[in-house]
Amino acid sequence: MARRSAVAKEAKKERVEARLTREQKKHIAYAASIKGTSISDFVVVSASDAAVRTIREQETLALNERAREVFANALLNPPAPSRRLVAAARRYRERAK
C-alpha cells in the first residue's frame, strides 16, 4: 500500500489554481473534513468526478422510446439512396481509382 501511495504522489506533476470566495472555501473545507480528506484531495477528486460525469453526459446519446424506434428502424431498414447520392458515390469511385 505504501508503494502505491508513493507512485500516486510521484505521478502528480500538474497544477491547477482557483480563486474562491470565503464562503466557497468554508464549504469545501467542511465537506473535506466530513470525508476525512484534505481540501486539496477533496477538490481534485470532486473535480475529476465532475469531469468524468460531464464527458459521459456529452458523449452519450439518450433517446426517448419513439426516437429509439425511429433510429432502430432506420438502421434495420435504410432508405434507398437518392439519385444525388448514387451520383456522388460514382464520382468518388472514379476519383479514387
* Secondary structure letter of residue 20 according to DSSP: -
- pTM, two decimals, is 0.57
Q: Is 74 contained in some domain?
A: yes
Assigned C-alpha cell, 96: 479514387
Tens-level pLDDT at each residue, the chain (97 residues): 444 444 456 688 899 999 999 999 999 999 999 999 999 999 999 999 999 999 999 999 889 999 999 999 999 999 999 999 999 999 999 999 8
User: Cell for 14?
Assistant: 500538474
Q: Kindly state the helix (H) or strand (E) to which residue 49 belongs, with its residue range.
A: helix 39-59
Asked if the structure places residue 13 within a domain, the reply is no
Residue 41 placed within a domain: yes
Q: How far apart are CA 33 and CA 85, in angstroms?
A: 62
* Cell numbers at 77, concatenated: 431498414
Q: How far apart are CA 87 and CA 38, in angstroms?
A: 64
* Domain annotation covers residue 8: no
Q: Is residue 12 included in any domain, yes or no? A: no
- What would you report as the CA-atom Rg of the chain, rounded to the nearest whole angstrom? 26
Cβ proximity of 28 and 39 under 8 Å: yes
Counted domains in the chain? 1
